[in-house]
Amino acid sequence: MIPVRGYAGAKVAVLGLGRSGLATARALVAGGAEALLWDDSPEARAAAEAEGFVLTDLGRAGALEGVVVLVTSPGIPHLYPAPHRIIRAAMEAGVPVDNDIGLFFRSFAAEDWDGFDVTPRVIAVTGSNGKSTTTALIAHILAEAGRPVQMAGNIGRGVLDIDPAVDGEVVVLELSSYQTELARALTPDVAVFTNLSPDHLDRHNGMGGYFAAKRRLFAEGGPDRAVIGVDEVEGVFLAGQLAEGAADDRVIRISSGQKLDGFGWSVFARKGFLAEWRKGRQVASIDLREVAGLPGAHNHQNACAAYAACRTLGLAPREIEAGLRSFAGLPHRSQLVGERGGVRFVNDSKATNVDSAAKALQAFARIRWIAGGMGKEGGIAALQPLLGSVAKAYLIGHSARDFALQLGDTPYEICETMARAVERAAAEAEAGDVVLLAPAAASFDQYPNFEKRGEDFTARVQALAIA
């Protein structure tokens, strides 16, 4: 646990008692604060009471009197589409609003760091797609190289729930736009921006607000090094804002598909090869084509981001390459879950939107595509140019019939359930095919989350007695 600093003896309100909220409450108490806890969910309140916390209804009149800060969980709206009533009351009363990320950055450094040989560092990763894989990949590479490392944030443990840093340790954080938008302190040593595509637009009132939330990590965080994906215009803009010029190697531009040889420092992947360029010359190259845990151009972009971040910490290219090759991938993200008769079964249940599904469809040559769920605005119409690799689609969930109308000439079958889709795809697949779960839709029509959907797919595949 990281005890929260700066609030000893003060009243701090905590709104939202999920994983991060309870971790925040524990860390506040450990730092000497008086924590006033509330959640609109009776189940969450009961879980907090089971830990011995006393609840305070923050919505009642006078509940915020004497409170010096309100700490809110990331899933609770604070601006768009409308502020939660308690957050609005806090803002109107002049009570600052923060989150656990802000508390972490003001509390992470400790007195015993003066005796360390190597000061602990924080790498923070944000973006639309690839955040989790990039975060986990950085942590894996560091661990394989013998560096002490912890992973937290939007993946793994809550940021305040991690252990105090040891000499030379690196903390790798995955940060969502919900987390970067509100944190009152953002001071990573290295910040990574993977890419940007439309998501959470209602929460940020459009793409401009969404990008602004991501940009805060760099503009207000002031990292020593910034790793910026420049395959979208927003990344190009951000890199240009942070750098003093093309030769400024404090900004490392990364790409999957572009050659970036005119900058002070860049890392890019083309035709399956990762290349690092510094001051106009290539200094390293890695063949990514046989790295099983990182298939496809989107994962090659993740590899570039992780490679660049690890290079800023002084790791050698050969150390990073070893970590890339031993990375097994994350569950539900281009995860190979089995093979039978030359047919591979890949779980990409995390592909909950069109952009992430597009990346999955581009990673394989001949696909038996399992798609559907709670479709988002526009359905899958934008995927039309990528359907040439799809031998047949097997459609499930609420949007199955809507998706069928957008497939053009691509063969399809309405399967409704995961069990039926896996059964039919496995029966029709031929050697060399990939049965790919990349739903391009949310899971909430049939599953509580994308993880449960991916677990169901994996269980159905394993039931096929795959060797």
Rounded CA-CA distance 110/293 in Å is 37
Say if residue 128 carries a ligand binding annotation: yes
Cα–Cα distances (Å) from 39 to 18, 68, 127, 181, in that order, read 9, 19, 28, 21
Say if residue 131 carries a ligand binding annotation: yes
Cα–Cα distances (Å) from 304 to 107, 287, 328, in that order, read 31, 12, 17
Q: Enumerate residues 6+ apart whose C-beta is below 8 A from 130.
A: 194, 195, 298, 299, 301, 302, 305
Say if residue 133 carries a ligand binding annotation: yes
Say if residue 314 carries a ligand binding annotation: no
Cα–Cα distances (Å) from 392 to 94, 362, 385, 411, in that order, read 57, 15, 15, 5
Amino acid occupying residue 208: G
Say if residue 126 carries a ligand binding annotation: no
Rounded CA-CA distance 130/135 in Å is 8
Are the C-beta atoms of residues 191 and 124 closer than 8 Å to each other?
yes
Strands (E), 61-197: 67-72, 97-98, 121-126, 149-153, 170-174, 190-193
| Residue 9 CB coordination number (10 Å) | 8
Residue owning tokens 């969502």: 176
Strands (E), 127-188: 149-153, 170-174
Q: Which run of H or of E encompasses 357?
A: helix 354-361
Cα–Cα distances (Å) from 33 to 14, 27, 67, 407, 438, in that order, read 11, 9, 11, 57, 45
3-class secondary structure, 247: coil
Q: Enumerate residues 6+ apart whose C-beta is below 8 A from 430.
A: 342, 343
Are the C-beta atoms of residues 37 and 54 closer than 8 Å to each other?
yes
Strand bridging mode 374-375 / 441-442? antiparallel
Q: Residues marked as binding for ATP? A: 127-133
Which residues define the annotated binding site?
127-133
